[in-house]
Chains A and B, each alone.
Chain A
Amino acid sequence: MILDGKCPTGPIQDSWDKHRFDMKLVNPANKRKYKILVVGTGLAGGAAAASLGELGYNVEAFCYQDSARRAHSIAAQGGINAAKNYPNDGDSIYRLFYDTIKGGDFRAREADVWRLAQVSNNIIDQCVAQGVPFARDYAGYLDTRSFGGAQVSRTFYARGQTGQQLLLGAYQALMRQIKVGTVKLHARREMLDLVVVDGVAKGITVRNLVSGEIESHWGDAVILATGGYMNVFYLSTNAMGCSVTATWKAAKKGAFFANPCYTQIHPTCIPQTGDHQSKLTLMSESLRNDGRCWVPKKKEDCEKKAADIPEDDRDYYLERKYPSFGNLAPRDIASRAAKEQCDDERGVGPGKRGVYLDFQSSIDRVGENTIAERYGNLFQMYEKITDENAYKQPMRIYPAPHYAMGGLWIDYNCMSNLPGLFVLGEANFSVHGANRLGASALMQGLADGYFVIPNTIAHYLVGVAPGAVKADHPEFKKSVDEVQGQVDTLLSINGTKTVSEFHRELGKIMWENVGMARSEESLNFALKKIPELREEFWQNVKVTGSKAEVNSQIENAGRVADFLEFSALLTKDALTREESCGGHFRVEHQTADGEAMRDDENFTYVAAWEFKGNDKEPELHKEPLKFDNIKLAVRSYK
């Protein structure tokens, strides 16, 4: 099937405004008759639930955490992009649009990205009005800094805690709606199934993580804002509870999964220290404003202390390879460059899987106090984890799985191919193409939640009879029975391996074969190993305790079971995409100097996969990508 994103036509500058006018509206008096379920309370879900509640819809929000304030958006450090052009350095909506398309290696939809760039400015205004304490200059104006993949300073920030502050803004707006009664929050609930009635999304099945009860919830529309799937690699910068479960369950009910092979490996994370490790910690990309990446030129220097290696023997490899962007090269490029140096046996630290991020020249230039003001909390976090003082010696960093550009397929209105199912934020695939630029995730989450979905959902709801399907429909009972059946099975296997052991094994397969460098051989190897591990899981996993109580083993077992299915689709997508683009690097497709080589003739499309069962091949549907405004070009940061 050839998919159509239903993007507006005509001049791109007017596309969103015209589309907003063309869409139907719901009469204010009728809004309260519609019930909307919002799963996830991060930037996208929190902003959506608050805004829809305020508009008068009857909203129910769900999160697995104990409080809506704890979604993993909170961990974003560096900042949020907007095309305000406050610094007068040449920025514009068009430039943000252009940078995002190019940064995504020409694998995103033009219309969606234009809209994102256009509403980016509204987001900053909205957050300021909510009391988000953005950094200010001495005159009292908003301050900005630079991020990778851009030559303008358009990133707004609140120290190293921008995600936290933006999320708290959305959370507080949500709390306000809960108080007035337009939104009802169900915390400590995990979505374990999507209920589809006659091809239309009509509700969800969740597990109450305190009582263990399996609950049905009906809605006239379902919004998934459940984040990304990078914990498929086991070690990632995601929170422990982040999973593919909500989106994967939707995919198993017919929603197409788009571009799962577009995975972002973030260049600046604290290297792994041992097998006990449960997660990796990100060091904000903003550090590359003032930090310089280097490794020793000579292999024999790798054991030496950084301070003992003279300037001439240091290889500032990003500055050498990409003189015009230098240390601010985009993430995919910076990560691959770090891997190259380590593969060349010039890595530093334990296991030689690390490169230096050195602040000495910035400290010499602006002083330690200024650096501390900019990044103090990051330096502190680094010290707590590594026991090293980064003011005195360079940080050691290494790439780590961080963000999923792929996600459920959606049209321009953020609706999946299943009517009534909307997908926002990291959970969808739409705007980042094959590589997301820094400070663009926060922008997308809030754009989708505050400014897109409140407009587009009305256009769908107008055609729906409110409350036509409720939780007494047989599909709900069927779904509850399925979910309950899986929980019972997990408890009954009583094997010898823990859930974590399976997760760790899956992560190893994925990181080594479907990670930063992928080949036909490695991908086929993974496709052989994953089903074997999945089969073993269902015969040999050990889950203790009971189902009618807090039991984090049941939660984790369900998540890992879904990763064991989804990982095969991710790998299959990587195998099918016979080109290198953004975060997807196939070693067979590279230039002589090791840069990614796209194949625009054959792969300028969105790969949207339809699940057909674990024993069957998924079906590929293509959405061709058209570039009417930006010329397809080789992406160069040299």
Chain B
Amino acid sequence: MNLILHVWRQNGPNDKGRLDQYEAKNVSPDSSFLEMLDEVNEDLIKKGQIPIEFDHDCREGICGTCSQVINGIPHGPDKLVTTCQLHMRKFKDGDHIYIEPWRSKAFPIIKDLVTDRNALDRIIQAYGYTSTHTGGVADGNAMLVPKVAADEAMDAAACIGCGACVAACPNASAMLFTSAKVSQLALLPQGKAEAAKRVKAMVEQMDSEGFGNCTNHYECQAACPKGISVSFISRMNREMMKALPQ
């Protein structure tokens, strides 16, 4: 099939940026979205032009690197996939496709579709861990973990840190991301000891990075390629309530 692409091009954080138009010809429906862009880039290089820069790495939906707003939706029209796992069979011959970077004040644009998402790393640095030392820990079975807690913790832990939740939110809120880590560690006995300090530190960092607050649009959950539930935001709020008097 043949497609018309409208791609955001921006030569760095201080450039104004613009949507440029490209043709993608003879695209196989079995190819992935990024493979389609690879072909467009190969053509651009052969013409001596500068290809479209985009972030990507594992191309199997787990590293969380790829990050494109496709036709207004982070990671595009398919449900529960990252951009790299979106396949061209989801599009029709002759379609116009608009491709933009993540849009959020906290994610400055580096070039074209590449953004700086280190604000998310700094939220984890704030307290997204248990303060465990290497070595000298108890046997893995010393503390039992109820299966429901382990399963729910895993649901939260499935977050890949791509930032689609932020890009989808009208407030550019990072509540889904932050709450997933808060919840994972609060659900497990190993994380409970520091739960109160953790939630306060992570929320404080989240606010200081310039992310907005949650006003219950649930766009984050709809865009999340791993299906992280907004119920974790409720859990984070409860954890915060518990933590406040301390």
Interface residues in chain A, defined as those with a beta carbon under 8 Å from any beta carbon in chain B: 47, 50-51, 54, 65-70, 72, 74-75, 84, 86, 122, 124-142, 158-159, 161, 164-165, 168, 171-173, 175-176, 178-179, 187, 210, 237, 239-241, 273-274, 276-279, 281-282, 380-381, 384-385, 387, 450-451, 454, 496, 498, 500-501, 542-545, 549-553
**Counting CB contacts under 8 A, is B120 at the interface?**
yes
What residues on B are CB-neighbors of A72 within 8 Å? 57-58, 63
Report whether A140 and B55 are in contact in the complex, using a CB–CB cutoff of 8 Å. Answer: no
CA separation between A133 and B155, bound complex, in Å? 9
The closest CB in chain B to the CB of A53 belongs to: B134
- Write out the residue numbers on chain B whose beta carbons fall within 8 Å of the beta carbon of A380: 80
A282, B61: Cα distance in complex, Å: 12
- B87: which A residues are within 8 A, CB to CB? 384-385, 387
Q: State whether B146 touches A550 (Cβ < 8 A).
A: no
Chain A contacts of B48 at CB under 8 A? Answer: 542, 544
Q: Which residue of A lies closest to B121 (CB)?
A: A67
The segment out of B34-42, B168-176, B232-240 that lies at the interface is: B34-42
Interchain CB contact under 8 A, A176 and B111: no
* A176 contacts B35, C-beta separation under 8 Å: no
The distance in angstroms between the C-alpha atoms of A550 and B65, with both chains bound, is 15
30 A-B residue pairs with CB within 8 Å: A66-B116, A70-B63, A70-B64, A70-B161, A126-B134, A129-B130, A131-B130, A131-B191, A133-B151, A133-B153, A133-B154, A168-B157, A175-B121, A176-B129, A176-B131, A179-B126, A239-B57, A274-B28, A279-B59, A281-B59, A384-B85, A450-B135, A500-B38, A544-B49, A545-B50, A550-B53, A550-B111, A550-B114, A551-B53, A552-B53
Tell me whether A70 and B147 are in contact in the complex, defined as CB-CB below 8 angstroms, given that A168-B157, A172-B129, A544-B51 are known contacts: no
Supply 20 further A-B pairs (C-beta < 8 A) apart from A135-B150, A159-B154, A276-B35. Answer: A54-B134, A69-B161, A126-B134, A126-B135, A130-B190, A140-B144, A142-B140, A158-B154, A165-B157, A171-B124, A172-B129, A241-B57, A273-B28, A276-B30, A281-B59, A380-B80, A450-B134, A451-B134, A542-B46, A544-B50
Q: How far is the CA of A381 from the CA of B32 in the complex (A)?
A: 13
Complex Cα gap A544–B50 (Å): 6
Is residue B21 contacting chain A, with contact meaning CB distance below 8 A?
no
Contact status of A187 and B65, CB under 8 A, knowing A277-B31, A549-B12: no
Expressed in whole angstroms, the minimum distance between the Cβ of B246 and any Cβ of chain A is 21
Q: What is the bound-complex CA distance between A135 and B157, given in angstroms?
A: 12
* Minimum C-beta distance from A57 to chain B (A): 13
User: Which of B63, B78, B80, B116 is A75 in contact with, Cβ under 8 Å?
Assistant: B63
Q: Are A276 and B57 in contact (CB under 8 A)?
A: no
Q: Which of A131, A159, A164, A240 has the most CB of B within 10 A?
A: A131
> Chain A's nearest CB lies how many Å from the CB of B158?
6
Contact of B190 among A65, A68, A131, A551 (CB under 8 A): A131
Bound Cα distance A54, B131 (Å):
11
| Interface core residue of B11, B61, B140, B153 (most chain A CB under 10 Å) | B140
Contact indicator per residue, chain B 171-208, by CB within 8 Å of chain A (1) or not (0): 00000000000001100101100000000000000000
B147 touches A138 (CB 8 A): yes
Residue of B38, B143, B154, B191 touching A278 (CB-CB under 8 A): B38
B130 CB contact (under 8 Å) in A66, A124, A130, A276 = A130
Residues of B136-164 whose CB lies within 8 A of A: 137-141, 143-147, 150-151, 153-154, 157-158, 160-161
Q: Most chain-B Cβ atoms within 10 A of its Cβ — which of A130, A137, A237?
A: A130
B132: interface (CB < 8 Å): yes
A128: which of B55, B60, B114, B140 is its contact (CB, 8 Å)? Answer: B140
B2 within 8 A of A: no
CB distance from A86 to the nearest CB of B (A): 7
Shortest A555–chain B CB gap in Å is: 11
B105 proximal to A (CB < 8 A):
no
Q: Which residue of B lies closest to A449 (CB)?
A: B134
Q: Is the CB of B134 within 8 A of A175?
A: no
Instruction: List chain A residues, Cβ under 8 A from B191.
Output: 131
Complex interface: chain A residues within 8 A of B213 (CB): none
A173 to B30, CA, bound (A): 40
Given contacts A158-B157, A381-B60, A385-B85, contact A454 B28 (CB under 8 A): no
